[in-house]
Amino acid sequence: MTPLVAMVSSPRARLFACFLRLGAQQASPFQLHTGVSLAAKNYYEVLVLGGGSGGITMAARMKRRVRAENVAIIEPSERHFYQPLWTLVGAGAKQLSSSGRPTGSVIPSGAEWIKARVVELNPDKNCVRTDNGKEVSYKYLIIALGIQLDYEKIKGLPEGFAHPKIGSNYSVSTVEKTWKALQDFKEGNAIFTFPNTPIKCAGAPQKIMYLSEAYFRKTGKRSNANIIFSTSLGSIFGVKKYAVALQEIIQERNLIVNYKQNLIEVRADKQEAVFENLDKPGETQVISYEMLHVTPPMSSPDVLKTSPVADAAGWVDVDKETLQHKKYPNVFGIGDCTNLPTSKTAAAVAAQSGILDRTISLIMKNETPTKKYDGYTSCPLVTGYNRVILAEFDYNAQPLETFPFDQSKERLSMYIMKADLMPFLYWNIMLRGYWGGPAFLRKLFHLGVS
């Protein structure tokens, strides 16, 4: 079956992408690390746990602070993915292959890649242990282990993904199943879920709903589709300005939203989803589906849950302004694995990386960190194959917009930024440690106003 890429690639978008590639000469991927050292040391000045967006970005930044040979990354995965693109992959607008690259190609050149999994943290002794029995010591530790997908907490999953009509944009092994389910849709309920846990990219569960509705309209199936968003939350979005805009779209497109409903079971053989009413524990509802998109429950990685660096909920316990650990001054956290009270997104990681870089540089000089993270995060809310509402906000759920126009409006320009500019920026600038978020652009566009 043919992806929707051809349907959404306009001459304007292709011209924009070509323009972006002109700037890639100074950030050529051929300059990046492409191999794995065979003889890892047992001690590093800076040890990074996790080779996701936060880990790679911070390793690149730390390389410039302490020289590459003094930096190591512990990461077991052979491939690194730009996961924000999976929303578009699940809707057929991008190919899965375009979202991933070999991990070795994004490791900063000269830095050590320890291809293993962390199984124990011992911050009192400044060391960690890996699944191959190796003990690695450090002077400074950066924890960037991301978030754990817990599909198994829903009865009937993950084995249910072996059946048709069901997918999930949150896993590399299930995102293409979303596109298959979308294409195979004939008539009935299309259900999209949001779990009763913290998750990464909290806008993604509804983005695929808007894209699916647009696909049904394009293919003449909309009149046969009953589109349902079943969310454990009590509102459509946590920032009022954007929630109002989304509610208008929901009404205009005749979408059904069921609040305080948590998916607890999938009967994939019968194409049934079971939801619990969170306002009335024990009360359940069974809904049949023709298509089901599952957003899984998520949690802190198991290795962190019982470690000394975790808070009571299992997240890395860091100061929300400096990202320094509250108990261990030589330990730092970034991204989804932390207890920072902001939305867990790649945009948040970018902003955090600039703050954390500055924090660590001052700690290394025995000085007090002064730069403070304001909770900046961003969620490009894809509302169609050529429209995006760009939500940007801070710790207080107040808009913190970059551009000098109303970002709660659907715009083609923001879609092009989401689909083409952001992946380019990620691979060529952010992962090399040169992107700390759009704060400087915000000041420029708003004439110095922060």
pLDDT of residue 392: 98
- The set of catalytic residues is 201, 379
pLDDT of residue 40: 55
The CB density around residue 7, as the number of other CB atoms within 10 Å, is 15
Cα separation of the two ends of the chain: 48
377-384 and 256-258 beta bridge pairing? unpaired
pLDDT of residue 19: 39
pLDDT of residue 119: 98
pLDDT of residue 219: 98
Q: Are 416 and 12 in contact (CB under 8 A)?
A: yes
Residues 6+ positions from 120 with CB-CB distance below 8 Å = 128, 129, 303, 307
Torsional sign, CA 310, 315, 320, 322: positive
DSSP state of 234: S
Strands (E), 255-405: 256-258, 261-267, 272-277, 284-288, 291-293, 298-299, 331-333, 377-384, 387-393
pLDDT of residue 181: 98
Whose tokens are 């069974």? That residue is 286
Is the bond into 158 cis (omega within 30 degrees of 0)? yes
pLDDT of residue 201: 93
Residues 6+ positions from 324 with CB-CB distance below 8 Å = 318, 331, 332, 359, 363, 369
Exposed e or buried b per residue across 352-378, where buried means at least 16 C-beta atoms within 10 angstroms of its C-beta: bbbbbbbbbbbbbeeeebebebbbbbb
Q: For residue 204, which of 227, 185, 164, 231 has the smallest C-alpha distance?
A: 231
State both tokens at 275.
């939801």
Residues 6+ positions from 251 with CB-CB distance below 8 Å = none
Q: Are 428 and 24 in contact (CB under 8 A)?
A: yes
Q: For residue 261, which of 247, 278, 273, 274 has the smallest C-alpha distance?
A: 278
pLDDT tens series, the chain, 450 aa = 444 444 444 444 443 444 344 343 333 333 333 233 334 589 999 999 999 999 999 999 999 999 999 999 999 999 999 999 999 999 999 999 999 999 999 999 999 999 999 999 999 999 999 999 999 999 999 999 999 999 999 999 999 999 999 999 999 999 999 999 999 999 999 999 999 999 999 999 999 999 999 999 999 999 999 999 999 999 999 999 999 999 999 999 999 999 999 999 999 999 999 999 999 999 999 999 999 999 999 999 999 999 999 999 999 999 999 999 999 999 999 999 999 999 999 999 999 999 999 999 999 999 999 999 999 999 999 999 999 999 999 999 999 999 999 999 999 999 999 999 999 999 999 999 999 999 999 999 987 554
Looking at the DSSP bridge assignments, the partners of residue 291 are 190
Q: Please name the amino acid found at residue 223.
A: S
Q: Are 359 and 341 in contact (CB under 8 A)?
A: no
